[in-house]
Amino acid sequence: MLKQLRHAIRRARLRHYLMCPPTYFDVAYSINPWMDPSRPVDRALALRQWFGLVDIYRDRGHRVDLLEPVPGMPDIVFAANGATVVAGQALSARFANPQRTAEAEVHTAWHQRNGILYGGGEVREPIAVNEAEGDFAVLSKRILAGYGFRTTVEAHRELARLTDREVISLELVDPRLFHLDLALAVLDDARDHIAYYPDAFSQQSRQVLAELFPDALIANEHDAYAFGLNAVSDGLHVFIPCGAQQLRENLAAAGYWPISVDLSELIKGGGSVKCCTQEIRPAPIATRRVDSLPDEVASLISEDSAAHPAHQTTAGASS
């Protein structure tokens, strides 16, 4: 007799990611507790590890577009910080530290050129400081938003107006977990299932998370500091940094398929899997004005949709 599952059946959904190779990656300055300019960086190793992540995504059917790296921008590899795209609406980043300011223009230009392919409209220029998906976690109908170190609460309001979604503000209090994507991971954005490390948040924000997500997976300190929550999930597969062993076991017990990824060289810059991965969330098909576009553009969209059809993978237990 089959044992009754104690968790929901997990389903993968094909994703569209924007990433930037660490061609010019370096730790030449320190803007977070993980960065130590005195430690040497092995750029060749960083490139091998990063391309390994790209291959893992593509092997599972996900689309990965590449942003051109720029000399003098060593942190542009952390593409999640460059923009937030929700239902085809893009909000550019405005960085808190001057060392990264110029990256926002590179991301904005990419979305202005390519937004038509995901049903995007005008790319919104921010007024308040926001570090994009570093501090914005998108769920089915709501968005969790971090503040305390980088992104401001005013930016939360900007994102709410742009997306017409409820944005829930969460205060971060641990300087080592200075972005929300170091303290919390979205595991299933259809069912709003998350994992998080409670001590990364203020008491009030911990209460909010406990009330809204009673079934969340709770990470321990070791796994949080091993960047275990800086993970990416397609709903089934969870691409998780090496070293977060307990969280990996908890994910498997909850029906996910954890896939360990070694980005140890990039962690020297304060980021791992999620930091390297900006998700492009397209506009609903019904809202795309393909009929009003030039023939060559409409044809390109149709070809792209055929090449990347909706697809689900189902697993009732971990592998």
Q: Which of 179, 193, 237, 276 is catalytic?
A: 179
- For the whole model, what pTM was predicted? 0.88
Q: Which of 16, 20, 62, 275 is catalytic?
A: 275
Q: Look up residue 146 and give its amino acid.
A: G
pLDDT of residue 304: 46
Catalytic residue check, 20: no
Rounded to 5 degrees, φ, ψ at 71 are -60, 140
Which CATH architecture group holds 10-286?
5-stranded Propeller (3.75)
Low-confidence ranges of the chain (pLDDT < 70): 1-5, 286-319
pLDDT of residue 305: 42
Q: Cβ neighbours of residue 289 under 8 Å, at least 6 residues apart?
A: none
pLDDT of residue 127: 98
pLDDT of residue 120: 82
pLDDT digits (tens, 9 = 90+) for 174-229: 999 999 999 999 999 999 999 999 999 999 999 999 999 999 999 999 999 999 99
Catalytic residue check, 179: yes
Q: Are strands 166-171 and 10-13 parallel, antiparallel or unpaired?
A: unpaired
**What are the structural domain ranges in the chain?**
10-286
